[in-house]
Amino acid sequence: MSQDFDITQVYLKFLEDDQDMTMPIAAIESLVTMLRIKQPSTSSELINLVKSNTDKLKSSISNAISLSAGCDLFMRFVLRNINLYSDWESCRRDLVENGELFVQRAKESRSKAAQFGLPFIKDDDIILVHSFSRVVYQMLLMAKKEKLIRFRVIVTESRPSEKGYHMASLLRTAGIPVEVIVDNAVGYVIHKVDKIIVGAEGVAESGGIINHIGSYQIGCLAKTNNKPFYVVTESHKFVRLFPLAPDDLPNQISPVLSATNSSINAILESESDNPKSLLSIQQIDFTPHEFITALITDLGVLTPSAVSEELIKIWYD
Amino acid sequence: MSQDFDITQVYLKFLEDDQDMTMPIAAIESLVTMLRIKQPSTSSELINLVKSNTDKLKSSISNAISLSAGCDLFMRFVLRNINLYSDWESCRRDLVENGELFVQRAKESRSKAAQFGLPFIKDDDIILVHSFSRVVYQMLLMAKKEKLIRFRVIVTESRPSEKGYHMASLLRTAGIPVEVIVDNAVGYVIHKVDKIIVGAEGVAESGGIINHIGSYQIGCLAKTNNKPFYVVTESHKFVRLFPLAPDDLPNQISPVLSATNSSINAILESESDNPKSLLSIQQIDFTPHEFITALITDLGVLTPSAVSEELIKIWYD
């Protein structure tokens, strides 16, 4: 049983079973499951198990930024708690139990963040939303159902994933007036929009966000037009990364951009065979902190610069 | 014969017969054809004919900005020349002949503009192109074939028209390394891009351009990232409009943006039936002059502020 445990399979199963589960929570939950099954007999074995499984998970999943945030957070949690116990048996049992508590709390953070965001939505607002985000959806739903606020939403179609259509149909079902626009039309509508709300895949140390591609240019437009740009996210998505540019992410590189002169011909040939190039499937970009008005998290409403403080609290207190 | 002349049909036929013809030239050519067929017998009849046909053309074609530039220019040409003659017969004959000359010169202006643009393309450049533009294509083609410059091109797919794919396939046929990106990825690649070149549907008095939707946000990104943003266009696309914002254009209005509270329910119902809303088919936006580095036209390379001077020269000298 313990031999053929495959962390990637477990992780994907968690995501599949629960559509509401985000990647970091699924990652933590898989690690807790792994510990329950593997039953490590020394603390060093436990740490090695967590470490090797984390690496395996990170390498097998593409676009692993929020996933690695969850794994790192769990590792930190293990290292902090492992020294508190005198006997190994109770330590192991408590770790698994607390691991589940940890997952529970991470799950609750979504509705907490949504709750903190409610005062930002006012009657008659026109809100621009980019791509699909569970926490943004929950926040808009709460504003509509609990606070009875009347507002309108514009959703970008969010190529290449086209998750905007999913977001729009969910909002429409909830009775919120919504319209889908092409990503090109953001500049066209931005004058009419009152605020922009997006989710995040991960929040970097600088307070910038890693999110669905296109977030950077929306942030840029928001700043030029003096519109507030809010990010709603759970604090377990804070990651220890410091990207310096929208494309400074651990990713594939476009063949045209990185090509040397000698390889240009190869591109010309391959391109004509394969119209779907790497760049057209790039899923995320980085929005630097200067474009973000505020981060609405389960810890409260933070300025981008407060993120590093929170990260220091988590990692060095 | 003269009774059942339909200017719209003639106009559409010109566009269909010659894929290289732009809207203002087709409009002027239809007006010249109209004069040749109708044979007006007084100057006042001639002016009325041009006026009524222009109005008919403008109202029957949606997205009539560059078209109306052509019509207005022809009207100006008629009014200037009509007083130069003493006898009516030679006046009418010359008007039609000169009209054809006028069309000829307008056609040549494309390659002139492309010629002026050549020094802007350097070896090893990575050029971002938005949507399909005949003059941009001609300029890139000349740079490749005549100047033997080696450069790479990134083309946006340009939703909702998706004309970027057409542009990319033309460039690929010409042996230029090209990659199509989703419109959302412009912010992601802008750091790697050396310059941005777009065409225009029309150039406003302020020097801003009316072009395929999404041009405004690319201009905004270019300015934030200090990248040159060049517009290549023929001078007969200068129009006497003064838009104040990206959405300040003679267009349809989105139902969600313009709705009063009482009509919200109607939208909710209609939206669910009709996922293709007005906004998702909006084709153009306006890019203000402050985002434009230079306009490359058949009159030479102009700063945006020089456009109003040229317009004054055309209209008030």
Give chain A positions within 8 Å (CB) of B184. Answer: 156, 158-160, 183, 212-214, 217
Other C-beta atoms closer than 10 Å to the C-beta of B314 total 17
Query: Which residue type sits at B242?
Result: F
| Local structure of residue B300 (DSSP, 8 states) | E
Of B165, B177, B188, which is closest to A216 when you measure between CB atoms? B188
The residue-averaged pLDDT of B55-72 equals 83
| Local structure of residue A281 (DSSP, 8 states) | G
Give chain A positions within 8 Å (CB) of B247. Answer: 188-189, 191-192
CB contact under 8 A, A188 and B216: yes
Using pLDDT thresholds of 50, 70 and 90, give the confidence band for residue B253: very low
Rounded Cα distance, A268 and A257, in Å: 13
Using pLDDT thresholds of 50, 70 and 90, give the confidence band for residue B265: low
pLDDT for residue B80 is more than 50: yes
Using pLDDT thresholds of 50, 70 and 90, give the confidence band for residue B268: low
Give chain B positions within 8 Å (CB) of A280. Answer: 157, 179-182, 185
CA distances from A145 to A29, A112, A116, A151, B89 (A): 31, 16, 16, 12, 76
The pLDDT value recorded for residue A258 is: 53
Lowest mean pLDDT among B58-67, B100-109, B139-148, B231-240: B58-67
pLDDT for residue B293 is more than 50: yes
The residue-averaged pLDDT of B121-149 equals 94
The residue-averaged pLDDT of B102-130 equals 91
Of B154, B184, B254, which is closest to A256 when you measure between CB atoms? B154
φ/ψ bin of B158: left (φ > 0), alpha (ψ from -120 to 50), beta (otherwise): left
Give chain B positions within 8 Å (CB) of A177. Answer: 256, 259, 264, 267-268, 271
Of the residues A184, A268, A286, the best mutation for testing chain B's interface (the one with the most B CB atoms within 10 Å of its CB) is A184
The pLDDT value recorded for residue B148 is: 94
pLDDT for residue B1 is more than 80: no
Task: Identify the three-state secondary structure at position B153.
Answer: strand
Of the residues B63, B178, B179, B184, the best mutation for testing chain A's interface (the one with the most A CB atoms within 10 Å of its CB) is B184
Give the DSSP letter string of A184-248: GGHHHHGGG-SEEEE--SEE-TTS-EEEETTHHHHHHHHHHTT--EEEE--GGGB-S----STT-
Of the residues A123, A188, A191, the best mutation for testing chain B's interface (the one with the most B CB atoms within 10 Å of its CB) is A188
The pLDDT value recorded for residue A280 is: 62
CB A136 within 8 A of CB A198: yes
Rounded Cα distance, A201 and A284, in Å: 8
Q: Which fold has domain B121-249+280-316?
A: Rossmann fold (3.40.50)
Q: How many A-B residue pairs are in contact by the CB < 8 A criterion? A: 198
How far does A17 lie from chain B, in Å, by closest CA?
A: 28
| Local structure of residue B238 (DSSP, 8 states) | B
The pLDDT value recorded for residue B239 is: 87
The residue-averaged pLDDT of B199-212 equals 92
| Spans in chain A with pLDDT lower than 70 | 1-3, 63, 250-280, 317
CB contact under 8 A, B159 and A159: yes
Backbone dihedral angles phi then psi of residue B297, each to the nearest 5 degrees: -125, 175
Give chain B positions within 8 Å (CB) of A261. Answer: 124, 150
Query: Which residue type sits at B97?
Result: E
Lowest mean pLDDT among B41-50, B111-120, B223-232: B41-50
Give chain A positions within 8 Å (CB) of B159. Answer: 157, 159, 182-184
In chain B, the residue whose alpha carbon lies closest to the alpha carbon of A192 is B257
CB contact under 8 A, B277 and A180: yes
Q: Which fold has domain B7-108?
A: Four Helix Bundle (Hemerythrin (Met), subunit A) (1.20.120)
In chain B, the residue whose alpha carbon lies closest to the alpha carbon of A194 is B257
Q: Domain map of chain A by residue range? A: 7-107, 121-249+280-316
In chain A, the residue whose alpha carbon lies closest to the alpha carbon of B256 is A179
The pLDDT value recorded for residue A144 is: 95
Q: Which CATH class is domain A7-107?
A: mainly alpha
How far does B79 lie from chain A, in Å, by closest CA?
A: 37
The pLDDT value recorded for residue A272 is: 47
Tokens of B62: 């949606």
Using pLDDT thresholds of 50, 70 and 90, give the confidence band for residue B122: very high
CB contact under 8 A, B150 and A264: yes
Of B126, B188, B247, which is closest to A191 when you measure between CB atoms? B247
CB contact under 8 A, A159 and B184: yes
CA distances from B117 to A220, A245, B196, B298, B300 (A): 29, 30, 12, 9, 9
Of B172, B220, B275, which is closest to A180 when you measure between CB atoms? B275
In chain A, the residue whose alpha carbon lies closest to the alpha carbon of B253 is A189
CB contact under 8 A, B185 and A285: yes
- Please report the beta strands in chain A, taking only residues with DSSP state E, as ranges in sequence order: 126-129, 152-156, 178-181, 195-198, 202-203, 209-212, 229-232, 284-287, 294-297, 300-302
How far does B199 lie from chain A, in Å, by closest CA?
A: 16
